[in-house]
Amino acid sequence: MELFKELQWFFFQEWKKYTGTFIILTIITLLQLLPSKIAGQTIDLILNHQSSTSQILQNISKIISISIVIYILKYFWRILLFSASNQLTSQLRIKFCTALLKQDATFYSKYRTGDLISRATNDIDRVVFSTGEGILTIIDSVISGCSIIFMMCAQTNWKLSLFSLIPMPIMAIIMRRYGKLLYKYFQQSQENFSFLNNQAQDSLNNIHMIRNFGLEKPEINKFSAVAHKAGKKNLKVSKIDAQFDPIIHISIALSNLFAILGGSILIAKKQLTFGQLTSFILYLGSMIWPILAFAWMFNILERSNVSWKRIKKIVNYTNKKKPHINNICLKKPFNLDINIKKFSFPSRTNNSLYNIKLIISNNTTLGICGPTGSGKTTLIRLIQKHFVLCKGVIKYCQNNINNIQLKTWRSIVSVVHQTPFLFSANILNNIAFGKPNATFQEIKHVAKLACIHEDIKNFPQGYYTKIGEKGIKLSGGQKQRITIARAFLKPSKIFILDDPLSAVDHDTEHKIIKNIHKYTKKNNITTIIVTHRLSILEKFNNIIVLKNGTILQQGSHEQLLLQKNWYSEMYNYQKFK
């Protein structure tokens, strides 16, 4: 019931539908008691030779009429109950997605995509199931069960009722024990389902690499091992599940046996009629569904509790290092002041960056270069607020960016990542992602700046060409240029490009860099570019060389060439290569 306490906000929100469902189910429960009573009275009338054909037909028509009314009412309670529970599906998924969008890179290093997909689909469905079928089982097991027991005691014989129901408390104790086991094994099953999702996602994402290296068989074996482990955990859940029905049917069979034995004795003593015993056995037969509902309720709630806790971990996740957030307005462009004492990733002990002191003036260009693994991408990820910087500070407008709302900060930063990501939509929608209300002329203009317009013109449907999942129909250079066009279109004050031209030829690269200089200067934008191609940094205001996580060299292109160090050596190597 802990789950329902935590979902009370939803029940208050949909109280009209749940109240309507409760009332209709109560009416149905009361109506379902009448046929057994009528059947018992009819049998007594027949045995006592007090019945007429018209009276029997009248009783039969009553039973049929009651059944029709129950059928109609069942239609309405299903509409009310499941329309309410389906509302929870969309609300939980929106909350879940909103929580994901607010998380930083620390969160995503802890939770993998397959696990998150499992929680967003399988676990949410389980919780929603509890607010539909779960509520139904509670109402039916409690109201129907209590009503039937009352009728058994009031209309027949209370001693016979108590004698017949002896197996029920024993069944409840056993089911409670199995419910705890089900909770334990279902939790393990869901965790293994997440692992299976992760493995499937890895295989699908890297399918080309697997084929290129001829690793299909090892990959199949790896997936089979994970699937086999998940299957074993599911089998444990199924074994517990499978024990519910036999326990219920044994309990019902024992109750019927006790009813017949006790009823026979009472009939022999003339304390009970055949009609009353018939009604009693019919009532006992009506107890099958409430008992099944009672068992099913345990099953549903234990599974839903596991799923709800898994969802809560994501929705309520907060970074312990998360600083206080202020509502800061960033209308005007300012300098970016970087002072990093040291920074290491959550999963590592060694410093990825240390002793980084840098001021990036507004409307200037900064080039970042250095050997592989020197911390270039880490630096720009800190500027983007992917991680919380604890030992050091990055200031903008004299404010620590950690204290600026993520939405506000991201609204002024436009980024082109090292690995271009495109959606499986058309080219126009991909470019307009950062500015959905952009006109076609604006989209066309930025495509020209990114030197992709001519390529798009040659596609079968131009800007409306579908590019497939992650832009699979495009070349590497086309993907990069579309992401650059997307960054151009988004209004920003800081323009960050992380090695964005690695798949572009030399001439196109210089055209794009020239367009970036013109565009950023005209729009008063600060530009930061990470690159391995040093020739594109010749006209940059400032260049820093990172090595082993710290600044090795800093200055303009001309100044760095005069220093006999990494920059001049690499520049000359690339120039004469």
- Each domain of the chain, given as residue ranges in start order, spans 90-315, 336-576
CA atoms of 35 and 31, how far apart (whole Å): 8
| Low-confidence winner among 36-50, 105-119, 392-406 (lowest mean pLDDT) | 36-50
Residue % of the chain over a pLDDT of 70 = 95
User: What are the pLDDT digits (tens) for 67-108?
Assistant: 899 889 888 888 888 888 888 988 999 999 988 888 877 788
Superfamily of domain 336-576 in CATH is P-loop containing nucleotide triphosphate hydrolases (3.40.50.300)
Whole-number pLDDT of residue 329 = 65
How far, in Å, are 44, 117, 222, 225, 564 from residue 195 at the CA level? 63, 11, 12, 11, 51
pTM of the predicted model, to two decimals?
0.71
Q: Is the dihedral of CA 278, 279, 281, 285 positive or negative?
A: positive
Whether 204 shows a pLDDT value over 80: the answer reads no
Side-chain half-sphere CA neighbours of 216 within 13 A: 4
Q: Say how far apart CA 483 and CA 479 lie, in whole Å.
A: 6
User: Residue 267, Cβ neighbours under 10 Å: how many?
Assistant: 14
Pairing relationship of beta strands 542-547 and 550-555 according to DSSP bridges: antiparallel
pLDDT, position 330: 67
CATH number, domain 90-315: 1.20.1560.10
Q: What's the pLDDT at 448?
A: 92
Considering 30-39, 293-302, 360-369, the range whose residues carry the highest mean pLDDT is 360-369
Q: Give the integer Cα–Cα distance in Å for 218 and 17.
A: 53
pLDDT tens by residue, 371-398: 988 889 899 989 988 888 888 899 888 8
- Res 446: pLDDT: 92
Distances in Å between the alpha carbon of 99 and those of 94, 109, 298, 386?
A: 9, 15, 30, 15
R_g of the chain computed on alpha carbons: 35
Distance CA 466, CA 427 (A): 7
pLDDT value at position 150? 79
* CB contact set of 500 (below 8 Å; sequence gap of 6+): 416, 417, 418, 420, 480, 483, 484, 529
Whole-number pLDDT of residue 369: 92
| Helix, strand, or coil (residue 215) | coil
Q: What is the mean pLDDT of the chain?
A: 84
Burial class of residue 348, CB neighbours in 10 A (0-12, 13-18, 19+): exposed
Question: In the predicted model, what is the mean pLDDT of residues 262-277?
Answer: 80
DSSP H or E segment with residue 498: strand 494-498
Per-residue pLDDT reduced to its tens digit, 512-557:
999 999 998 888 899 999 998 898 898 899 999 999 999 999 999 9
Query: Which residues touch 42 (CB under 8 Å, ≥6 apart)?
Result: 51, 56, 59, 275
CB neighbours of residue 119 within 10 Å: 24
Q: Does the pLDDT of residue 331 top 70, yes or no?
A: no
Place of tokens 């037909």: 57
pLDDT digits (tens, 9 = 90+) for 44-70: 777 676 666 777 788 888 888 888 998
At 491 the pLDDT is 84
Q: Is the pLDDT of residue 242 over 90?
A: no
Q: How does pLDDT run across 278-330, given as a tens digit for each residue? A: 777 777 777 777 777 777 777 788 888 888 988 998 888 876 655 556 666 66
Look at residues 302, 297, 260, 255 and name the one whose alpha carbon lies nearest to residue 277. 260
Whole-number pLDDT of residue 503: 81
> For the ranges 108-122, 419-433, 524-538, which has the lowest average pLDDT?
108-122
Task: Give CA–CA dist 322/551, Å, rounded.
Answer: 27
Asked whether the predicted pLDDT for residue 34 surpasses 60, the reply is yes
Report CA 283 to chain centroid distance, whole Å: 45
The predicted model gives 364-369 an average pLDDT of: 92
- What's the pLDDT score for residue 320? 60
DSSP 228-270: HHHHHHHHHHHHHHHTHHHHHHHHHHHHHHHHHHHHHHHHHTT
pLDDT at 327: 64
The alpha helices in 103-157, defined as continuous H runs, are 105-110, 113-118, 124-129, 135-139, 145-151
Pseudo-torsion of CA 153, 157, 158, 162, nearest 10°?
-100
Report d(CA 293, CA 145) in Å as an integer: 10
